[in-house]
Amino acid sequence: MDFLDKTALEIGGLIRQKELGVVEATRHALERIEETEPQVNAYIQVLEEQALAQAGTVQKRIDSGEALSPLAGVPMGLKDNICTKGIGTTCGSRMLEGFRPPYSATVAKKLEDAGAVLLGKLNMDEFAMGGSTETSWFGPTKNPWNPGHVPGGSSGGGAAAVAVGSAFYALGSDTGGSIRQPCSFCGISGIKPTYGAVSRYGLVAYASSLDQIGPMGRSIQDCAAILSLLEGHDNRDSTSVQRPPLDFSRSFGGDVNGLRIGVPKGYFGDGLDADVKEPILRAAKMLESLGAVVEEFDLPIADYAVPAYYVVACAEASSNLSRYDGVKYGFRSEAGDTLQDVYYNSRSEGFGIEVKRRIMLGSFVLSSGYYDAYYKKGLQVRGLIQQSFQHAFEAYDMILSPNAPTTAYKLGENISDPLKMYLGDIHTVSVNLAGLPAVTVPCGFGKGGLPVGLQLIGRPFDEPTLVRAAHAFQMQTDYHKQHPQLAKGGNAK
């Protein structure tokens, strides 16, 4: 059987039809991990024995006739900032060395109940701070399309694993584009849900008002099926919204007739590479040919999204990361004779440079002399960005844009230039500031055969309409069915 061409839903269907065993599917995924990890480094921890035992348990549940999800028995991976009871959760940082949570995140428990098989914990930028998965304490993940390039971040491990076939789907987290940008760089599909649609309980916080867990898969249908399992109110998360379940029943007919799609002029200016711009505009033309109404419009306040995002996100990060002090759990420096020395040395040795940079920036904007000038103003700009999107959605059903201004860049190319890295988030951070949903699907290739992803942004809790348009696009194209040479057993470039 050619597993590489199967989506997660197709694997789940074969399992339900008794044409494929759960243990067989799991063994295949573990073999792919063994084959590809030396070149990709998508996993921080592989749970081989546990995965096989879990596969056997799920198979028994299926054989007994228990009603499980369409994804029951399908092997998958979790980003390593999603807590798993008794299983190491590091956030890609030395600071959480040896930490084994006493509980599982709500999303992890939901997937377990639905019959998922956990293969392992996926590599990520340290505490989700980065856009390339190069800041991980466990070394960088590499892009399966060209291992000399980054996979994007911070959920780069998940995107690379799905692209190379070492997981059939993955969960990532998105604070400012950390699902969408790596999906774009690695040629897979993903959904950043509306803020509050999916419980954050058990997600190690970076910026609490921005973080959201979401799915990454081969196709947008896979992602919608995963999101259906994850969404819903959770009493343990005060930001979780009580509302009816998302209804994807009308999302897969291939019809976009009459949908109004806005294209922000400012997103297609001089900073966007031509080999990204062209596939995105071709995708817009295709949606238009299928019956959608596509128009350009102005979204000027988005120009202020990047500075507002980094002020708000870093302020929240400095507060959230203050709990890591070398005393309660995780890494503790052996140097120092006083409590203050333990704090200082543990944080100095336990955190990487990007995390330190963002803590310092956040502490600065929250300080008494600069709070009004920076943090308060950042919140005000955030409010204006939300209003700008609300106004746009009075005229349009969704907004079409790139995910990033470039294709995947080379390893080490931008890591020493934080400003350049931050500006790479220009097309994604406004979605998090406004709490909106967005999807990404592959729409072509740029220089060197590296993938390009199309982003669709929607109204709050209107993921079904975004999936409708994305699926219509995927029905007319085969970009989501193409695989890197490394996934086919070829040599890395």
DSSP string for residues in 192-223: EPPTTSB--TTBPPSSTTT--EEEEESSHHHH
**Do β-strands 189-192 and 260-264 pair in parallel, antiparallel, or remain unpaired?**
unpaired
Active-site pick, 93, 178, 318, 430: 178
- Whether the CB-CB separation of 435 and 196 falls below 8 Å is answered with yes
Tokens of 444: 């072509």
- Whether the CB-CB separation of 437 and 460 falls below 8 Å is answered with yes
Q: Is 178 among the residues known to form the active site?
A: yes
Tokens of 408: 């995947």
- Phi and psi angles of residue 354, each rounded to the nearest 5 degrees, phi first: -70, -40
Neighbouring C-alpha atoms within 13 Å toward the C-beta of 332: 13
Neighbouring C-alpha atoms within 13 Å toward the C-beta of 80: 36
Distances (CA, A) of 402 to 7, 146, 485: 24, 21, 25
| Residue in this structure with the two tokens 């008002």, named with its chain if needed | 209
Tokens of 449: 């055969």
Active-site pick, 6, 69, 79, 173: 79
Q: Is 388 among the residues known to form the active site?
A: no
Task: Tell me which amino acid residue 116 is.
Answer: A
Give the relative orientation of helices 22-40 and 8-16 as an angle to the nearest 10 degrees: 150
Distance (Å, rounded) from C-alpha 307 to C-alpha 54? 45
- Whether the CB-CB separation of 159 and 150 falls below 8 Å is answered with no
Active-site pick, 154, 184, 199, 401: 154
DSSP character at residue 288? H
Q: Is 430 among the residues known to form the active site?
A: no
- Whether the CB-CB separation of 407 and 442 falls below 8 Å is answered with no
Distance (Å, rounded) from C-alpha 81 to C-alpha 107? 12
Catalytic residues: 79, 154, 178
